[in-house]
């Protein structure tokens, strides 16, 4: 069997930046094991397999695999797949076009708003399928710092403290005092497992207010070695959890609050994730994730 596939760079408007994504079309007849084998072959943070939707009113079904396991939901695959399907459906684009793509994922239906414009990377935006929730404390800062190759006083800034947040996938959210400290962070094998592997998390997300660009609110990195992802250039699902952390620690008033997160710079893959928090009655009501994606390659894979 030969299936069409595309690769895209996601959360960027320029090729060879952002987070690479492979999307395999027409994957209805592939077994779980075959999908996992194909994901290992691409060896990207995630590979998407597009299937026919269970509900004909929806656009498509999709499943997401890292090189090691399937995920119920992830942000950059949602953005990249939505942009690709919208572009394939639109064909030649003469003027700006808006559309909606409804994607059936294991976590549930995710509706994505699209904006396509000739000569530009497509833009996609979706509401997080689950609101991020505080999922509990993490080990002490000494243990966390050791797992990241840092020292204890580099963990935390202002009133931000390390916590676990979940919006489907759970992440260790680690505030880091400076961009210099976040740049030298790494997976320290000798101490990583004790700090993070026993917490039931998908990945470890580091963030700081010190940014490279004055248009950004946070600079971030994400490590997920247990998933076969040593470092991720742009992580939409973790950015959803970041919204939960900053709502908790920054105490936003009611209204809509937009922030830009820069990620991937330490990997040479600059990425930009738009995060919107909608607060009502003091509670976080909606988290919206947005970003651009651009096609890089296409072909056929024999499966």
pLDDT in tens, 23-51: 999 999 999 999 999 999 999 999 999 99
Do 154 and 196 fall into the same domain? yes
Q: Which of 29, 33, 46, 266 is catalytic?
A: 46
Say if residue 263 is in the same domain as residue 206. Answer: yes
Pairing of strands 170-175, 203-208: parallel
Q: Flag whether pLDDT at 92 surpasses 90.
A: no
Q: Is 41 a catalytic residue?
A: no
Contact of 225 with 2, CB cutoff 8 Å: no
Structural domain count, the chain: 2
Q: What is the pLDDT of residue 94?
A: 72
pLDDT category of residue 56 using cuts at 50, 70 and 90 = very high
**Beta-strand (E) ranges in the chain?**
2-10, 19-24, 47-51, 60-65, 70-71, 97-105, 108-116, 122-127, 133-137, 163-166, 170-175, 203-208, 218-224, 229-232, 255-263, 271-280, 283-302
Q: Are residues 121 and 159 in the same domain?
A: no
Q: Are residues 51 and 109 in the same domain?
A: yes
> Is residue 95 predicted with pLDDT exceeding 90?
no
**192-210 pLDDT tens trace:** 999 998 778 999 999 999 9
Q: Are residues 257 and 296 in the same domain?
A: no
Same domain, 226 and 239: yes
The residue to which tokens 């056929």 are assigned: 300
Residue 199: predicted pLDDT: 79
The CATH number given to whatever domain includes residue 28 is 3.10.310.10
Report residue 264 as tokens: 């991937």
Q: Mean per-residue pLDDT for 244-260?
A: 96
What CA–CA distance (Å, rounded) separates 259 from 125? Answer: 14
- CB of 137 closer than 8 Å to CB of 164: yes
Domain that holds residue 171: 133-289
Question: Do 120 and 138 fall into the same domain?
Answer: no
């Amino acid at each position: 069997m030969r299936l069409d596939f595309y690769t895209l760079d996601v959360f960027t408007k320029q090729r060879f930046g952002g987070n690479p994504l492979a999307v395999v079309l027409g994957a209805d007849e592939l077994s779980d094991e075959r999908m996992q084998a194909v994901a290992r072959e691409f060896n990207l943070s995630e590979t998407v397999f597009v299937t026919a939707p269970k509900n004909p009113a929806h656009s498509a079904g999709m499943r997401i695999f890292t090189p090691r396991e399937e995920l119920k939901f992830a942000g950059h695959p949602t953005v990249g797949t939505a942009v690709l399907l919208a572009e394939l459906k639109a064909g030649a684009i003469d003027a700006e076009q808006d559309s909606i793509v409804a994607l059936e994922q294991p976590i549930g239906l995710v509706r994505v708003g699209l904006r396509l414009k000739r000569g530009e990377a497509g833009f996609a935006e979706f509401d997080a399928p689950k609101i991020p929730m505080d999922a509990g404390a993490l080990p002490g800062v000494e243990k966390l710092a050791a797992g990241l190759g840092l020292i204890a006083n580099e963990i935390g800034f202002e009133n931000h403290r390390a916590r676990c947040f979940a919006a489907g996938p759970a992440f260790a959210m680690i505030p880091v005092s400076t961009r210099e400290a976040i740049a030298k962070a790494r997976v320290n094998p000798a101490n990583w497992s004790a700090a993070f592997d026993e917490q039931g998390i998908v990945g470890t997300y580091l963030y700081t207010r010190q940014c490279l660009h004055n248009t950004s609110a946070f600079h971030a990195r994400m490590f997920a070695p247990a998933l076969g992802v040593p470092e991720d250039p742009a992580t939409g699902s973790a950015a959803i959890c970041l919204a939960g952390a900053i709502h908790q620690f920054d105490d936003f008033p009611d209204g809509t609050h937009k922030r830009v997160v820069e990620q991937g710079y330490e990997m040479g893959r600059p990425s930009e994730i738009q995060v919107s928090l909608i607060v009502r009655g003091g509670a976080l009501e909606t988290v919206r994730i947005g970003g651009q994606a651009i096609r890089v390659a296409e072909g056929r894979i024999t499966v």
